[in-house]
Each structure stands twice: as C-alpha cells, then as structure tokens.
C-alpha cells in the first residue's frame, strides 16, 4: 500500500467577490506569467478593436420610420433595417463574448486552473464597466497587483537572507578549513 506524502506549496486562499481565489503569490513562475499577461491582454484588446472596427460607427438611421416624438418606430422597421441593427449587435456581442472567454482563460493560465474566473467576475464580461465607469478587468488588477508586489518584496527579502546565510556558512567553512 502506498504511503501518502504531502507538503506545503504556499497556496493561500483569498476571497474575491465572495469567491475563492487560490494562489501562491510568492511563486516566481506566477510572477513571470503575471508580467507576460499585460502583453497578452494588450494583444486581446487589439484583436477586439480590429474585429469591431466599423461596428462602432453610428448607424445611419436615415429612412428609418419615426414616431411622433421623433424616436425610431421599431414596429415599422423593414426586415432589412432590422437585419442591419441586429447584425451589428450580434457581431459586437459575439466578439465581446469571445474576448471575455479568452481573457478568463489567460487569467486561469496565470493564476491557476482551480480558480473560477467566471464566478470571480460574477458572470460579468471582463470588459464590462462598473458604476464608476471602470472596466472590471481593471478593478481586478487593481485589487491583486498590490498583493503580488508585496509578495515579491517578501520573496526578494527571503532570497537575500538565504544568500547571506549561505555566504556566511561558506566563510565559516573556509575559515575552519584554513582556506581563503
């Protein structure tokens, strides 16, 4: 029968928006992936802009039927007019969904597949805005970046301490063996 061995991996559990977020913020691999994430997100944003180019142009409503108060009379739209509006809307929604899924997959690669980013973002698209007009992906980064930065300080301090201890041991060993 196999014996079960386990060891600490330094995983710490945080709660983000009421959801568990498990990560070892002192992991150099995590830090490396986190630094690369900015480039990945910029690439995804560029893709979004490219895919939605032209869709943000105001729809020409010339010839659309109007109500007495100068609003578009939706009930009187032709099939072609409905298709024009719906096609743009569907393209924007589809692109936005694809981008949301890609960003959440990238976050899982960086912070671990055990973290459910759809739950952490409470089902919202990462490109959605909060009540103050901030994108929620920005809010996420604003929440975790200080924790990562503090963990890096601790990690760097621990590395410096261990390197110093190792150098002291080597100096003692050289002195004990009469070597310089």
Q: Which of 18-22, 41-45, 166-170 has the lowest mean pLDDT?
A: 166-170
In a domain? residue 172: no
84-111: pLDDT as tens digits: 777 777 888 888 899 999 999 999 999 9
* Residue 62 buriedness (CB in 10 A; 0-12 / 13-18 / 19+): exposed
- Residue-number span of the structural domain to which 55 is assigned: 14-158
Paired tokens of 130: 């909060």
Is residue 118's pLDDT more than 80?
yes
Paired tokens of 117: 């980013």
Please, which residues have CB within 8 angstroms of residue 133's CB and are 6 or more apart in sequence?
none
In a domain? residue 26: yes
163-174: pLDDT as tens digits: 565 666 666 667
pTM of the model: 0.70
The total number of structural domains in the chain stands at 1
E-state strands within 70-175: none
Check residue 28 and give its pLDDT.
86
Is residue 59's pLDDT more than 90?
no
In a domain? residue 4: no
- Quote the DSSP letter at residue 75: G
In a domain? residue 60: yes
In a domain? residue 163: no
In a domain? residue 149: yes
Q: Which of 25-29, 128-132, 133-137, 140-144 has the lowest mean pLDDT?
A: 25-29
């Amino acid at each position: 029968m196999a014996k079960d061995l386990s060891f600490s991996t330094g995983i710490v559990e945080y709660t983000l928006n009421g959801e568990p977020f498990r990560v070892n913020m002192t992991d150099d691999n995590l830090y490396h992936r986190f630094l690369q994430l900015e480039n990945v997100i910029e690439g995804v944003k560029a893709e979004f802009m490219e895919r939605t180019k032209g869709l943000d142009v105001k729809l020409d409503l010339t010839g659309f039927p109007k109500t007495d108060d100068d609003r578009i009379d939706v009930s009187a739209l032709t099939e072609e007019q409905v298709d024009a509006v719906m096609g743009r809307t569907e393209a924007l929604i589809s692109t936005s969904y694809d981008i949301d899924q890609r960003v959440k997959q990238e976050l899982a690669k960086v912070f671990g597949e055990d973290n459910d980013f759809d739950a952490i973002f409470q089902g919202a698209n990462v490109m959605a805005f909060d009540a103050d007009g901030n994108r929620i992906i920005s809010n996420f980064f604003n929440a975790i970046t200080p924790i990562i930065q503090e963990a890096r300080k601790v990690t760097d301090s621990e590395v410096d301490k261990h390197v110093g201890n190792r150098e002291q041991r080597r100096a003692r060993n050289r002195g004990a063996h009469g070597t310089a």
